Structure 1
Amino acid sequence: MLKVWGRKNSSNVKKVLWCLKELNVPYEQIDVGGPFGGLNEANYLAMNPNASIPTLQDDDFALWESNTIIRYLCTKYDNNTLYPIDPKQRANVEKWMDWSNGSLFSPIQQMMIMIVRTPKEQQNPEIVNALKEKLNKLIKIADDQLAKTTYFAGDAFSLADMAIAPLVYPWLEVCKDRPNFPHIERWFAQLSERPIFRDIVLLPVN
């Protein structure tokens, strides 16, 4: 059985668990990282020298980097809907996956540290406001795309949405003083109709 190492409330772990559920592939999830620790133990570092989560263990094969993991899973289990074969369609999916990691992940991570996990009285309002403005600009890019297509890579749900949604969710929960982004709201409401999404992604933000 596949093993997924990582705590369930991590955005990067969520996308892997979500993908496995969509593919109907059985797995074992093992809590490491955050309050669970274990990332610097020798056996974990042998699988993932970055001391990060998630790590996928498939028999004697270990894989890290969440977007690479979900691409691997769709390739192994032959799901051409989430991860299309057509080169242009696949590149369009991967473009948004790369955007999620290269552009969106870091400011969302900063938001979690600076706003969610730092007591209000210890926060720097100027830095927090600058971060919120940066996030608004990024979400505007996403909202503009969703004004044109039902999902990020077109009219079909794909790995692009799976990569982005676990990052957008905490932003929606934390940044209540945001501008109106109607297409993000519509897209997120669509995803929220999926039971797997609700069970895996919509956990308390902490």
Structure 2
Amino acid sequence: MLRILGKASSINVRKVLWTCAELNLPFELEEWGSGFKPTDTPEFLTLNPNAMVPVIQDGDFTLWESNTIIRYLAARYGDASLYPTEARARAWVDQWIDWQASDLNRSWSYAFMSLVRHSSLHQESQALSASCADWSRYMQILDKQLHSTGAYVAGSHFALADIPIGLSVNRWLETPFERPSLPAVNDYYQRLSERPGFRLYGCNGTP
């Protein structure tokens, strides 16, 4: 059985858990990270030298980096509906996964640490305003894309990219600040909320 090392409150671990739900893939979750087993031990560092979760073990195969993990699981255990095999369709899905990991994540990092985690290192007002403005700008890009497809981020059908993007939308809606109106994003979130995997793992890990 697939072994997942991480904690269900982590947004990156939730990507893996939600992907498993979409694939009907059984797994065992072993809780590592803050509040659980420490990731800076020799035992864990042999699995991931970055001391970060998630890590998976699929038989004798060990893998880290959440987006790499969900791609692997979808390619190994899924079908083309979740992660296309055709090169251009797959590239379209990968494009949005990578956009979430780079541009979108960078934009909300400071605001999230300030407004949700209440980090003392993230309370500079100008930096917070800049992060909120940047985050809003990238979410407007997403809103435009969803308005264009009328459904999901990479097209008319749910695909692997909707898992990291959907988790980011959850973070957007749960962070307390004044947000612009994004009707297509709101409609998208309602569509995601109908999925059993999202109800289990997409909304901060609570059903």
TM-score range, shorter chain: over 0.9
Please state if 1:154 is matched with 2:160: no
Question: CA–CA distance in 2 between the matches of 1:83 and 1:51?
Answer: 28
Asked if structure 1 preserves the Cα contact closer than 8 Å seen for 2:107 and 2:131, the reply is yes
CA, structure 1 residues 185+29, in 2 after alignment: closer, same or farther (shift >3 Å)? Answer: same
Helix, strand or coil at the partner of 1:197: helix
Following superposition, the deviation at residue 119 of structure 1 comes to: 6.7
Q: Map 1:126-141 to 2 at 5 A.
A: 126-141=126-141
Which runs of no fewer than 5 residues in structure 2 stay unpaired? none
Task: State yes or no: 1:168 paired with 2:169.
Answer: yes
Aligned residue runs from structure 1 range 1-206, under 5 A:
1-118=1-118, 123-149=123-149, 150-203=151-204
Partner letter of residue 161 of structure 1?
Answer: D
Q: How many corresponding residue pairs?
A: 204
Q: Which runs of 4+ in 1 moved over 6 A?
A: none
The alignment's TM-score, normalised by the length of structure 1, stands at 0.93
Q: Could you tell me whether the CA contact under 8 Å between 2:8 and 2:205 is conserved in 1?
A: no
Structure 1 residues without counterparts, runs of 5 or longer = none
Which amino acid in 1 is paired with 2:100? S
Task: Kindly state the Cα deviation for residue 113 of structure 1 after the two structures are TM-superposed.
Answer: 1.5
- Inter-partner Cα distance in structure 1 for 2:14 and 2:53: 11
Larger deviation: 194-203 or 62-71? 194-203
